[in-house]
């Protein structure tokens, strides 16, 4: 008769791995893990075979709240700041590109003494359209 398997040597299921992955996601969101460490540990979670492997990955983290979001649960796409950090960054980039091109067009028009073809619109309208589509589909807007 063989010895009983120690708890840390018990095999883990995909559900166990998913719980550990949510714990790591929570810890990264709380600022306990940087992105590099989160990435490494997340990869290791899905390669874990035993409870000991999973425990090693979350042992140094505080206990997560009792209700972590389930895998696949709807999350806010660009969450934490209502208007969406990613949308604000994209808007700043778009505005910078548009202003630089508008100023360049204005300088060239003034120095040549004639009103040139408004080519700056070709660099401004496509990003504006893309931002408009993202906003229309709710990306970057706060949940109601």
Q: What is the pLDDT of residue 81?
A: 46
Closest CA to 55 of 87, 21, 14, 8: 8
Answer whether residue 66 shows pLDDT above 60: yes
Q: Does 49 map to a domain?
A: yes
Whether residue 57 contacts residue 24, with contact meaning beta carbons closer than 8 Å, is answered with: yes
pTM for this structure?
0.47
**Tally of domains within the chain:** 2
Closest CA to 37 of 13, 73, 45: 45
Range of the domain at 16: 7-58
Q: Does 73 map to a domain?
A: no
Q: Does 66 map to a domain?
A: no
pLDDT tens figures, 20-54 = 999 999 999 889 999 999 999 999 999 999 999 99
Q: State mean pLDDT over 99-112.
A: 93
57 DSSP 8-state letter: H
């Amino acid at each position: 008769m063989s010895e009983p398997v120690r708890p840390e040597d018990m095999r883990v299921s995909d559900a166990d791995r998913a719980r550990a992955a949510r714990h790591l996601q929570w810890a990264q969101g709380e600022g306990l893990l940087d992105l590099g460490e989160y990435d490494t540990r997340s990869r290791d979670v899905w390669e874990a075979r035993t409870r000991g492997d999973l425990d090693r990955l979350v042992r140094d983290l505080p206990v997560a709240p009792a209700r972590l979001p389930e895998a696949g649960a709807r999350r806010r796409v660009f969450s934490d700041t209502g208007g969406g950090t990613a949308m604000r960054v994209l808007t700043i980039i778009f505005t910078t590109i548009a202003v630089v091109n508008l100023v360049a067009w204005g300088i060239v028009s003034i120095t040549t003494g004639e009103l040139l073809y408004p080519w700056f619109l070709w660099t401004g309208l496509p990003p504006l359209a893309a931002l408009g589509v993202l906003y229309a589909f709710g990306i970057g807007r706060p949940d109601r």
